[in-house]
Amino acid sequence: MLSENLKNLRKSKGLSQEELAIKLNVVRQTVSKWEKGLSVPDSEMLIRLAEVLDTSVTVLLGETIDMQENEPTDLKVLSEKLELLNEQFARQNEKRRKIWRAVFVAIGIVASIVLLGELIEFIFTQTAISSMDESIGIIGGADGPTQIMVARAVNPISDWIFALIGVIAAGIGIYATQKR
């Protein structure tokens, strides 16, 4: 009676022997012995068993509970566990999506600042070149006038391309990580 009732109630709650043992602070083998009828729990443990299995001691010690009656409960317990797992999975995915979105926003900000810096430098350079007077660019030398031109040593096109690629990649990343 007790052994079968314990086993049927444990299964109807969707608990393994290990899970029940953890809730009762005993080892799994103890639960196994109770279910096989090799030993019986003491009175305090019977009360704790009844509480964990959400039943009464009378039901535990009473007539054998038919497992057929508990099948809908098994499905309900299983569906509740699956629902809980789905919620946890959804929270993890949402957290990852937010992290990636923040990364892409940061990349976009940095790339935009670089692109803006390149644009400002380009505008200043063009303004300086167009406003140069011939007398400013020419200095006197021993053998005649010498024209001096100051330019940047690095090819500015590569900076523009990398910054533009960064902005585009960030835009694609932000779009891909938007909440649907």
73 belongs to a structural domain: no
113 belongs to a structural domain: yes
Tally of structural domains, the chain:
2
Question: 35 has which bridge partners?
Answer: none
- Indicate if 159 and 106 belong to the same structural domain: yes
- How many CB atoms within 10 Å of residue 5? 20
47 belongs to a structural domain: yes
Give the integer Cα–Cα distance in Å for 18 and 29: 9
Q: What is the pTM for the complete model shown?
A: 0.44
Give the integer Cα–Cα distance in Å for 46 and 49: 5
Domain with 60 in it: 2-65
74 belongs to a structural domain: no
Q: What's 20's domain CATH number?
A: 1.10.260.40
| Amino acid, single-letter form, for residue 108 | G
pLDDT in tens, 88-144: 888 998 999 999 999 999 999 998 998 888 888 888 877 776 766 544 455 555 666
